[in-house]
Amino acid sequence: MNTGQRISLLREKNNQSQAELAKTLGIAASTVGMWETNKRKPSSKMLKKLSMLYDVSIDYLLGNDPTTDKSPSEVDIADPKNDTIMTFEGRPIPPEDLEIIKRLLRGGKHDD
């Protein structure tokens, strides 16, 4: 499914006409029509607005992700088999700090 088809699908799921979507986005209805027929592509600004409006990822709108779900997947940090790299402010959390976080979440202060 291409970007235009996805926009059309989301718009119809939300019982909106092209004119209603255009008004919400502050653009001409003909622009929405051109997106949906793939004669034009939405700008990055419009993709962001559509993503927020319909609660989907930009990757979904671009056809890179088949699911509309943009919520993060659940990860149990207590699972010793979990090899997900946890980060804070863009930096990996060192293993010793992650252990402290786990203890705090369990309600304990120290492992004496």
Out of 18-22, 42-46, 92-96, 107-111, which region has the weakest mean confidence (pLDDT)?
107-111
Task: Look up tokens 């993060």; give the residue.
Answer: 72
**CA distance linking residue 10 with residue 32, whole number of Å:** 12
Write down the pLDDT at residue 33: 97
For the residues of 6-44, what is the DSSP string, one character each? HHHHHHHHTT--HHHHHHHHTS-HHHHHHHHTTSS---H
Is the pTM for the entire model greater than 0.75? no
78 contacts 104 by C-beta, under 8 angstroms:
no
- Report the largest interatomic distance among the alpha carbons of the chain, rounded to a whole angstrom: 68
Q: For the chain, what are the domain ranges? A: 3-62, 72-112
**CA distance linking residue 74 with residue 8, whole number of Å:** 30
The CATH number given to 3-62 is 1.10.260.40
Write down the pLDDT at residue 109: 59
Query: pLDDT tens for residues 20-54?
Result: 999 999 999 999 999 999 999 999 999 999 999 99
